[in-house]
């Protein structure tokens, strides 16, 4: 093999390498292949994060809303058909606030608490009522102890406490990113507009 032939072969090989290096055909497809998964991840994350924030805001507002609506009533005893309707109507309002998001995992417990003695002996002055799965039922019994922060209720005074729970379930397409479910909790405390909210048609006269 002559030296000139070797030089010519090397020159051709070098030119081929230069053309290969500078060739941009198909580079956009390669770049898209790298970027597409990241873009998809960002899209799914943004959509589901927005949904989660919307549900969380509605959940928090519902806790406060229920406590405010109940504390405005003078009586809401479940011994009266009229007052059962009041409590049911409040829970129906809750369902409307949650829509279009699911509310089947939502639990709300309305807890009427009174300060007995010097106010530090805090107990339920009426049974609490829990909303769960679209229905309302008794949860805790009257005179059951319930701990409140010191000084929150005056002797003989009362407050309406609402405890809320919600199981957030990400959309099916986002479970691989956000997990299968997350349990949220919230609490709100309201002072009755009147001296007391009557739950048992007894003018809140209770001995525990």
**pLDDT at position 23:** 57
**pLDDT at position 194:** 84
Is 94's pLDDT higher than 80? yes
Strand partners, 108: 131, 164
Peptide bond into 40 cis (omega under 30): no
Give the global pTM: 0.75
Band (pLDDT 50/70/90 cuts) for residue 131 is: confident
Do the Cβ atoms of 179 and 100 come closer than 8 Å?
no
Strand partners, 116: 121
The rounded mean pLDDT for the chain is 82
Closest CA to 199 of 121, 91, 111: 111
Do the Cβ atoms of 122 and 148 come closer than 8 Å?
yes
Is 146's pLDDT higher than 90? yes
Band (pLDDT 50/70/90 cuts) for residue 7 is: low
All structural domains of the chain with their residue ranges: 3-190
Could you tell me the two tokens for 1?
A: 């093999």
In angstroms, rounded to a whole number, what is the distance separating the alpha carbons of residues 30 and 180? 33
Band (pLDDT 50/70/90 cuts) for residue 91 is: confident
Q: Based on C-alpha coordinates, what's the Rg of the chain?
A: 32
* 3-state SS track over the chain: CCHHHHHHHHHHHHHHHHHHHHCCCCHHHHHHHHHHHHHHHHHHHHHHHHHHHHHHHHHHHHHHHHHHHHHHCCECCCCCHHHHHHHHHHHHHHHHHHCCCCCCCCEEEEEEEEEECCCCEEEECCCCEEEECCEEEECCCCCCECCCCCCCCCCCCEEEEEEEEEEECCCHHHHHHHCCCEEEEEEEEECCCCCCCECCCCCCCCCC
Residue 89, φ and ψ in degrees, nearest 5:
-65, -40
Band (pLDDT 50/70/90 cuts) for residue 113 is: very high
Is 200's pLDDT higher than 70? yes
Q: Percentage of the chain with pLDDT > 70?
A: 80
**pLDDT at position 151:** 82
Most confident of 39-48, 72-81, 99-108: 99-108
Do the Cβ atoms of 108 and 131 come closer than 8 Å?
yes
Do the Cβ atoms of 66 and 162 come closer than 8 Å?
yes
């Amino acid at each position: 093999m002559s030296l000139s032939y070797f030089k010519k072969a090397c020159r051709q090989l070098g030119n081929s390498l230069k053309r290969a290096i500078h060739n941009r055909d198909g580079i956009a497809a390669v770049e898209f292949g790298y970027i597409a998964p990241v873009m998809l991840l960002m899209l799914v994350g943004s959509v589901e994060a927005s949904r989660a924030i919307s549900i969380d805001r509605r959940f928090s507002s519902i806790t406060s809303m229920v406590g405010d609506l109940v504390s405005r009533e003078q009586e809401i005893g479940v011994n009266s058909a009229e007052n059962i309707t009041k409590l049911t109507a409040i829970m129906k309002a809750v369902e409307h606030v949650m829509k279009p998001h699911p509310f089947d995992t939502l639990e709300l417990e309305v807890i009427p608490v009174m300060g007995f003695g010097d106010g530090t002996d805090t107990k339920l002055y009426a049974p609490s009522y829990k909303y769960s799965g679209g229905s309302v039922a008794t949860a805790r019994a009257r005179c059951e102890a319930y701990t409140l922060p010191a000084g929150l209720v005056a002797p003989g005074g009362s407050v309406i406490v609402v405890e809320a729970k919600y199981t957030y379930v990400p959309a099916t397409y986002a479970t691989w990113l956000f997990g299968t479910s997350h349990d949220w909790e919230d609490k709100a405390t309201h002072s009755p507009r009147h001296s007391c909210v009557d739950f048992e048609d007894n003018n809140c006269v209770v001995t525990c």
